[in-house]
């Protein structure tokens, strides 16, 4: 479903069943909801990096020192495809990554993060947890495909997707997300997110909680985040908070 909405600045924006940060805040305020939890999507629910590493390896190869590494080992080493200098230094590969981020159909059929579907179901069944939406640096223009993937994968598909406004460059995505989290407090008080840049940009003055998925430790730059290596850890930690 595509709906025309008007942003607070008055300029019309087209969203596909998505919401802006302001719209989510207003909607939660109207419903007197505080203390909600939002979920990141890529590398938290969707194993987007597995799909990217497989494709990049096929299309662009790897450096000599990585010749003996398979996809899981490459992911262990670099985490994200753009962190692999062999691809990040190749204009064809960076162009390919840019196109993947912007193309709606590139969000289809992505593999799942192990345990994510079950973990989200367990959180939904918890009395003290209220999942109120998704917060993602994917651009708004891929929302329809994102929603379809969520539905097909077994995640709640009726929750709002708050995606990065298309004009905000990808490189500033996590600054935008950190600002969104500050803005959404106290209606949203926590996020599950794999990217250490989110707590880093949120800073020590963020009053909410960042469950850092996929890590078993934190670094000084984001020591206020709570590491949760697996989805089982997320469920236990969020429920205990």
Question: In whole angstroms, how far apart are CA 80 and each of 66, 97, 99?
Answer: 15, 11, 16
Interaction residues for Mg ion, span 149-208 (CB under 5 A): 194-195
Judged by CB, which is closer to Mg ion: 40, or 233?
Answer: 40
Judged by CB, which is closer to Mg ion: 27, or 153?
Answer: 153
Q: What is the pattern of x (binds Mg ion, CB under 5 A) and - over residues 35-74?
A: -----x-xx-------------------------------
Write the CB contacts of 28 (distance below 8 Å, at least 6 apart in sequence). Answer: 34, 36, 132, 184, 187, 188
Kindly tell me the sign of the dihedral angle through the C-alpha atoms of 206, 33, 235, 115. negative
Least gap, CB of 7 to Mg ion (angstroms): 25
Judged by CB, which is closer to Mg ion: 16, or 136?
Answer: 136
Q: Helix 173-184 vs helix 21-30: angle between axes, to the nearest 10 degrees?
A: 20
Least gap, CB of 9 to Mg ion (angstroms): 28
Judged by CB, which is closer to Mg ion: 96, or 134?
Answer: 134
Least gap, CB of 164 to Mg ion (angstroms): 12
- Calpha distance 125→138 (Å, rounded): 27
Angle at 196 between CA 41 and CA 101, to 5 degrees: 40
Q: Using CB under 5 A, which of the segments 14-22, 32-40, 86-94, 218-226 binds Mg ion?
A: 32-40
Q: Helix 91-102 vs helix 48-60: angle between axes, to the nearest 10 degrees?
A: 150
Binding site for Mg ion (CB under 5 A): 40, 42-43, 194-195
């Amino acid at each position: 479903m595509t709906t025309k909405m008007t942003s607070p600045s008055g300029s019309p924006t087209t969203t596909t069943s998505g919401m802006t940060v302001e719209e989510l805040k207003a909607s939660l305020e109207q419903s007197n909801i505080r203390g909600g939890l939002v979920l990141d999507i890529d590398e938290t629910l969707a194993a987007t990096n597995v799909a990217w590493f497989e494709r990049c390896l096929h299309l662009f190869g790897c450096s000599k020192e990585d010749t003996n590494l398979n996809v899981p080992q490459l992911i262990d080493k670099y985490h994200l495809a753009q962190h692999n200098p062999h691809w990040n230094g190749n204009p064809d590969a960076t162009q390919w990554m840019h196109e993947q981020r912007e193309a709606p159909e590139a969000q289809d059929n992505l593999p799942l993060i192990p345990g994510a579907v079950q973990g989200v179901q367990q959180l939904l069944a918890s009395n003290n947890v209220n999942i109120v939406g998704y917060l993602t640096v994917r651009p708004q223009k891929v929302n329809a495909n994102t929603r379809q993937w969520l539905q097909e994968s077994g995640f709640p598909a009726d929750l709002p997707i708050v995606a990065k406004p298309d004009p905000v460059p990808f490189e500033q995505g996590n600054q935008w997300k950190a600002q969104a989290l500050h803005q959404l407090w106290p209606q949203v008080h926590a996020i599950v997110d794999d990217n250490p840049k989110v707590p880093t940009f949120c800073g020590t003055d963020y009053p909410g909680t960042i469950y850092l998925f996929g890590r078993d430790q934190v670094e000084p730059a984001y020591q206020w985040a709570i590491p949760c290596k697996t989805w089982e850890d997320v469920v236990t930690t969020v429920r205990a908070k």
